Amino acid sequence: MRGKLLSLALGLVFSLAAIADEAEIRRTMEAKLGTKVESVAKSGYLGLYEVYADGNIFYTDDKVTAIMVGAQLIDARSMKNVTDERMRKLTAIKFNELPLERAIKHVRGDGRRVLATFEDPNCGYCKRLAKDLQKLENVTVYTFLYPILSEDSVRKSRQIWCSADRARAWNDWMIDGKAPAAKEDCDVSAVAKNQEFGRKLNITGTPTIFFADGERVPGAVPLARIEQKLSQTK
């Protein structure tokens, strides 16, 4: 019994020490980075700590004597990209908490598979994605107008939102290059709210895709990758 109590006591001491270390690392990193640190955790490699802040993963030691920026941590045994895997978990969202009423809804087939995208109407990669998404079957795509490239992007987003058929106006522009004809004379607050919401999610580039399980994928990914992910999360 005494041995068990001693083990529990030692475990508690080490746990409290780890918490203290993480709290100190958080304070130090916030001071050095000049931004809020969302989380601090042991990486499990080389005694490094993973620090997540401002949408990025940093690595440092327990004394913050050095900071690794833009590093990719690879497990040498499995060759798995640990940083990428952690980033997917840290940036995941709850899909059902997306404000879908502020998105353009596209339904093909039975629409049973779902994904959401944040896109700028003047984004070249978004136009490529729009063409690829046309090839998907039995899917519902929620497109959030997220103009971040220029004032013209804001204007086109408002015109598309004010169109009688938003999905058609979006596809006409993104796929066929036919500029939206509608005026900016409706309630376009959804566009501004999307911009604010996207900033809160730290969406800094378009397109950004969210799947039903909450995983975030930035950039235009191959259609095969999208199809694979949809098949896994249907």
Question: CATH code at 70?
Answer: 3.10.450.70
Give the separation between CA 192 and CA 99, rounded to whole angstroms: 13
Do 83 and 99 lie in one domain? The reply is no
Which domain CATH number covers 155? Answer: 3.40.30.10
Residues 6 or more apart whose Cβ sits within 8 Å of residue 162:
182, 183, 184, 185, 186, 188
What is the pLDDT tens value at each position of the chain, 234 positions in all? 555 544 443 343 333 344 458 999 999 999 999 999 999 999 999 999 999 998 899 999 999 999 999 989 999 999 999 998 898 888 889 999 999 999 999 999 999 999 999 999 999 999 999 999 999 999 999 999 999 999 999 999 999 999 999 999 999 999 999 999 989 899 999 999 999 999 999 899 999 999 999 999 988 889 999 999 998 875
HSE-CB at 145 with a 13 A cutoff on CA atoms is: 29
On whether both 99 and 83 belong to a single domain, the answer is no
- Do 76 and 35 lie in a common domain? yes
- Per the structure, how many domains does the chain have? 2
Q: Does 185 lie in the same domain as 117?
A: yes
CB proximity list for 42: less than 8 A, separation 6 or greater = 18, 48, 49, 50
116 and 68 within one domain: no
My answer on whether 86 and 103 are in the same domain is no
Based on the fold, state whether residues 32 and 103 are members of the same structural domain. Answer: no
- The answer to whether the beta carbons of residues 129 and 220 sit under 8 Å apart is yes
Instruction: Give the residue from 56, 90, 124 where a domain finishes.
Output: 90
**Do 128 and 222 fall into the same domain?**
yes
Using the 3D structure, point to which of 35, 55, 90 is the last residue of a domain. 90
Question: In this structure, are 111 and 135 located in the same domain?
Answer: yes
Q: Which of 40, 69, 90 is where one domain is finished?
A: 90
Same domain, 108 and 70: no
- Give this prediction's pTM: 0.78
Residues 213 and 150 in one domain: yes
Which residue range is the domain that position 191 belongs to? Answer: 95-233
Exposed/middle/buried for residue 130 (C-beta within 10 Å: 0-12, 13-18, 19+)? buried
Assigned token pair, 46: 């080389």
- Distance between CA 55 and CA 135 in Å, rounded? 32
Pair (111, 69) in one structural domain: no
